[in-house]
Amino acid sequence: MKKILLYIILFLSGIDGAWALPIEKEGMSIYSPSLKQEVSYSIILPEGYEHSDTEYPVLYMFHGIGGDYTSWLEYGNVARVMDKMIKEGKIQPFIMVIPDGYLSYYSDTYDGSSLYETFFIKELVPYIDNNYRTRKNINGRSIIGFSMGGFGALSVSLRNRHLFGSVVALSPSIRTEKQYMEEGPQKGWDNQWGRIFGGVGKNGKQRLTSYYKQHSPYHILSTLRNSDLKGFGIMLDIGDKEGTLCESNEEL
């Protein structure tokens, strides 16, 4: 009888191990002094995190317009994708952090009314490093983003290369100068771009504010030398049916 019980326990333990998954913590929050509000985020910890003392790399994941801290979980099923690739030996385990990005383009506004990037760089990243077992160097941090999040991932990582060692931008919402100057309708442009980077109510070259150029990946990369990007990994991916984004991304 004891042998039978032992076999059952071992069998059930094997099943549990085979079906173990990463830990998904959705709807966590951190209070941001910069934004003067609670900011929600989700975090995914790899299988075995709670039973080890390993320090893991962190992938920060930026969503697009209309999304939130659940988007990558709901539409990308990223926890299971990561787990499958780890078990196939294709990647090493890592932590994923998905912050709520609102309609911020992951940038501080030109007038200081909303300091999202300040929150991300000075509050969220240190908070994750202090509360989870992370690799606290540039080779242990990366950002991935799609659409608006692709813009933010490129902008934030390129201007903070002392913190991040790589970036992945999926169909990033970037514009050529011509597109940016001519995009309409005006009300939509004002709410999406002018509100953040300046130029509300403006057209043509008046939209190309110095603040916008400081934050646009399109302009940031044009100011960098090859040596500035030594050791920094960039992956840019876009489909060939992405409309006007094809032109801007091809030019980038």
What is the pTM for the complete model shown?
0.90
Collect all residues with Cβ–Cβ distance below 8 Å to 241 and sequence separation of at least 6. Answer: none
pLDDT of residue 14: 40
> Tell me: the pLDDT tens digits for 78-132?
999 999 999 999 999 999 999 999 999 999 999 999 999 999 999 999 999 999 9
> Tell me: the pLDDT tens digits for 156-214?
999 999 999 999 999 999 999 999 999 999 999 999 999 999 999 999 999 999 999 99
pLDDT of residue 20: 63
CATH value of 22-174+216-247 in 3.40.50.1820, 2.60.40.10, 3.40.50.261, 3.40.50.300: 3.40.50.1820
The single-letter DSSP state of residue 115 is: B
Say whether pLDDT at 7 is over 80: no
For residue 78 the two structure tokens come to 């990223």
CA–CA gap between residue 252 and residue 75 (Å, rounded): 27
Residue 206 CA to its chain's centroid (Å): 30
Say whether pLDDT at 5 is over 70: no
Query: Is there a contact between 30 and 127 (Cβ–Cβ < 8 Å)?
Result: yes
CA angle 226, 160, 197 (to 5 degrees): 100
Task: Return residue ranges of the chain for CATH 3.40.50.1820.
Answer: 22-174+216-247
DSSP letters for 129-164: HHHS-B--SGGGEEEEEETHHHHHHHHHHHT-TTT-
